[in-house]
Structure 1
Amino acid sequence: MKIVGIDEAGRGSVLGPLVVCGVAIEENRVKYLERLKLRDSKKLSPKRRIVLSRKIKKIAECYPVKITAQDIDLLRSKDVNLNEIEKIAMKKIIGDSEPDISIIDCIDVKPKRFKAEIETYKENLEVVAEHKADDKYVIVSAASIVAKVERDSEVQKIRKEFKEIGSGYPSDPKTIAFLKKTSYEDLPDFVRKSWATVAKTR
């Protein structure tokens, strides 16, 4: 019985990619993940996340899907909202990992509706969709950690070239300062230009 846990990193960010990640493992091997004492990635230091991500990859199969800022803007211009964008990535993860059970940190306000849709992605797929699943299920905690490390790696590449960009989130004064000092025409490809945050800085 194969299980895949799915979570994301960078959903609310105005800079960099959205990373949706699946971590897949046979049910009888989940105990090896439990021994790592995983918690949601937001509660761990960056160094600890990197260490745990490497350990997770040795134990389980990882399926990160990176959706660039350009792709997000293009899809949003076609009236595809962020939930639908994430579902595209989830469908790919489920197709690639071929699980029997998928446990997902629910992105819909109505978990039952979300669960019913995800179940159509694969025949005989059992879906567990819950809010804050990353706090309840070790397989989703693992996906959360790998997703965050993958996104942090991409943001670090941007930071090396552009220096003071902050965390990429609208609540970060450094991120807002970066957006304000850059004209709209000169905004780099890693900026989600369709975000309301960008319009507010014009």
Structure 2
Amino acid sequence: MKSTHLKLNGMLVAGADEAGRGAVLGPLVLCVAVCEKEKERFLKSIGVKDSKMLSPEKREELAAEIVKYCHVHVQKIPAQRINELMKKGVSLNEIEAIHVADALKEIEPEIVEKIDKVYIDAPDPDAIKFTHRIRSLLASDSKISSKLHSSHKADVIYPITSAASIIAKVTRDEEIEKIKKELGCDFGTGYPHDEMAINCIKQNIDNPVLIKYLRSEWSTAKRIIAESRFKTTQLKLDF
């Protein structure tokens, strides 16, 4: 999802947020949104807020409005990519920082020049540390580097970060629906606390389609896989 054909004038503001960070199934989606600073009040007036506070229908409605006024840069990080990086010892915070940096690199230089601040929702308990992580991944002469500002609850405080949150969530929901159809199993939200997700994993543990989308490095997934292998071994021994 992109809207970079829009012409943005005057001082700009940007926000970054994610969706699907803690899920055991499906991708992590990140979005950087950019709009004219004067449009932030308008975004708030139409109901733009943290995506978690909105119904799926309202998120979709607002996403359609957001792309009329904002440039959006979306990064989809598949489960297999997350697994590969985590096996190498890369933390989830680092993975998020890598892809926020990648999204920032997509912003055209003439747009970067006009951005006042980039408000990032920080997943790290140390928000300043998260800013430094992202800066370390940008070119030393990057003009956007000094404009980064990470904070907790940025998706609640700043309308532009709320907009990024909505785009990330709507994009992830679209990806999740595609995966459900491919897998032939409704796994709900895909989060470890969702019984539908756990049951779907258990029922499809040997299904190669599931393996494509399962975050196998998650403790929940490891536990289910271990239990499945134990049951298989027991059946063989009983036989």
TM-score by length of 1: 0.93
Distance verdict in 2 for CA 1:193–1:184, change over 3 Å: farther
| Identity percentage of aligned residues | 39
Structure 1's unaligned 5+ residue stretches are none
Alignment counterpart, residue 111 of structure 1, candidates 124, 127, 149? 127
User: In structure 2, what is the equivalent of residue 147 of structure 1?
Assistant: 168
Q: 5 Å matches for 1:79-158?
A: 79-97=89-107, 98=112, 99-120=115-136, 121=138, 122-123=142-143, 125-158=146-179
Between 93-102 and 16-25, report the one with greater CA deviation. 93-102
Q: Distance in 2 between matches of 1:22 and 1:112?
A: 18
User: In structure 2, what is the equivalent of residue 165 of structure 1?
Assistant: 187
Alignment counterpart, residue 176 of structure 1, candidates 198, 203, 206? 198
Alignment counterpart, residue 218 of structure 2, candidates 174, 192, 195? 195
Amino acid in structure 1 at the alignment position of 2:196: K
User: 3-state DSSP class of the match of 2:106?
Assistant: helix
Q: CA deviation at 1:51?
A: 0.5
Q: Distance in 1 between matches of 2:185 and 2:134?
A: 39
Q: Distance in 2 between matches of 1:104 and 1:60?
A: 16
User: 3-state DSSP class of the match of 2:163?
Assistant: helix
Q: Confirm or deny that 1:51 pairs with 2:73.
A: no
Q: CA deviation at 1:160?
A: 1.9
Q: Distance in 1 between matches of 2:63 and 2:176?
A: 17
Assess if the C-alpha contact under 8 Å between 1:100 and 1:125 holds in 2: no
Count residues in correspondence.
202
Between 157-166 and 46-55, report the one with greater CA deviation. 157-166
Q: Distance in 2 between matches of 1:95 and 1:26?
A: 19
Assess if the C-alpha contact under 8 Å between 2:40 and 2:160 holds in 1: yes
Higher Rg of the two aligned structures: 2
Q: CA deviation at 1:113?
A: 2.0
CA-based RMSD: 1.7
| Structure 1 residues 72-117: Cα deviation after superposition (integer angstroms, max 9, x where no partner) | 1111122111111111111112111234421000111111222234
| Structure 1 residues 17-67: Cα deviation after superposition (integer angstroms, max 9, x where no partner) | 000001111223323322222111111111110010010001100111000
Q: Distance in 1 between matches of 2:177 and 2:55?
A: 15
Structure 1 moving runs of 4+ over 4 Å:
none
Amino acid in structure 2 at the alignment position of 1:143: A
Structure 2's unaligned 5+ residue stretches are 1-10, 226-239
User: In structure 1, what is the equivalent of residue 85 of structure 2?
Assistant: 75
Q: Distance in 2 between matches of 1:183 and 1:10?
A: 21
Assess if the C-alpha contact under 8 Å between 1:40 and 1:141 holds in 2: yes
Question: Relative contact order (alpha carbons < 8 A, sep ≥ 6): 1 or 2 greater?
Answer: 1
User: 3-state DSSP class of the match of 1:104?
Assistant: strand
TM-score by length of 2: 0.79
Amino acid in structure 2 at the alignment position of 1:165: F
User: 3-state DSSP class of the match of 2:118?
Assistant: strand
Q: CA deviation at 1:177?
A: 0.8
